[in-house]
Structure 1
Amino acid sequence: MNHKNLVFALFAAGATSFMAHAVMAAGEDTSEPPKKTKTTSECTDGKVWDAKKKACVDAKKSDLGDDILFQAARELAYAGQYENSIRVLGAVKDQQSARVLNYLGYANRKAGRMELGMQYYKRALQADENYILARSYMGQALIEQGRVEEARVQLVEIRDRGGENTWAYRALLQSLGGVRQY
C-alpha cells in the first residue's frame, strides 16, 4: 500500500470509528439490556436502589445523579414496570434531554398510551434530531399503528444519519419484516 492509500485508509478508519461513537453516544444505541440491580428485584413504588445507602430511596428525594436515575428508569422499563420507570424519569433534573423524552415515550407507549408516547418521541427528536434510538422506537410505534411507510421513513433517517450498523436500525428493520425497501 502506498503512502497516500495508507493515509486515506487510516483517515477512513478513524472517521468510521468516530461516527460509530457519535451514533452510540447520541442514542444509547445498544442491544444490551440494562444491568439488573436491586431497583427491580427489591425496590417498589418507583423507588431506586442507592448503592451508597444500601437501600431503596424515593427517586425525587434522593441525591442520585441524572445518569443513575436514567439507568434505573431504563432498567424498570425493560422489566415491564412502565409506571415506575415514568416516576423515576420524573426525578431526572434534565427533563428536556432527548434520552429522557425518548424513554418517556417508550414507557408510555408500552403502558398503552400510544399517542402520549408518540408526543414524547417527537419532543425527543426536537431536542436532538440525530437521536436514532427515538427514531427506532417511533418507527416501531408507527408499525403498531399500521403506518408502515412512515416507519420506513424513520429507517432511512437512521441510515442517513450514520446508524445503519446499529441496534436501532436492526431493531426497526426487523420490525419491518427484515426487508429494506427504500
Structure 2
Amino acid sequence: MKLFHFSEDPNITYFETHVPKTNSKEQPFVWAIDEGHAPHYYFPRECPRVAFWSSSETTDDDLNRFFGHTSVNRIIAIETSWLKRIRETQLYAYKLPSETFECHDANAGYYASRTAVTPLSVEPVGDLLERLVQTNIELRITPSLWKLRDEIINSSVSFSIIRMRNASI
C-alpha cells in the first residue's frame, strides 16, 4: 500500500503526531492519504474542494444526476478564486512508510499513525492541473462550492469535502 502526505514545504524530514486544528477531540496522529485518493490533494493545502465519485451504493438517479453527462466516475470541484493559486503552487508528495498506519476512513482514503514517521522520499508533484488531467478525474471550476456540497451530502455518491471553511460564502 502506498501512502502519501502532500505539502508546499519541500523540507520536511520528520512527521510528528498532532491533533488537527479542526477537531480538538481527535487523538494525535500523523495523517496520510492512500494512492487512490491522492489526487484529492493535488491542490494548495488551504484550497476548498469537493471530491465525489460513484460506488456500489450510488443510486441510478444519482448516477444520472452527477455523472450522466461525463465519462468519468470521479469529479473534483474547486472555486474559481483558487485557480491562479493552483497554477502557481509548488506541491511536494512525500511517500510514507505504511507499517505504522491504520485505516481511519476508507471512503476518504485517510490513514493515521500513532507514532512519528520519517518519509521514504519526497518529489515535486509538478503542474497540478496536468497531474489532474493524467488521472482521468474531471475538474470543475465554479464560483461557489456550497450548493454542490449541499447536493452531494444529501445524495448516495461517495465524497470527500476538504477545507470548506475557506470556501466563498
Please confirm whether the aligned pair reaches a TM-score higher than 0.5, indicating the same fold. Answer: no
Q: Which has the higher helix share?
A: 1
Q: Could you tell me the TM-score, scaled by structure 1's length?
A: 0.22
Q: TM-score, normalised by structure 2?
A: 0.23
Could you say which structure has the greater relative contact order, defined with CA pairs below 8 angstroms and 6 or more residues apart? Answer: 2
Compare the two structures and name the one with the higher strand fraction.
2
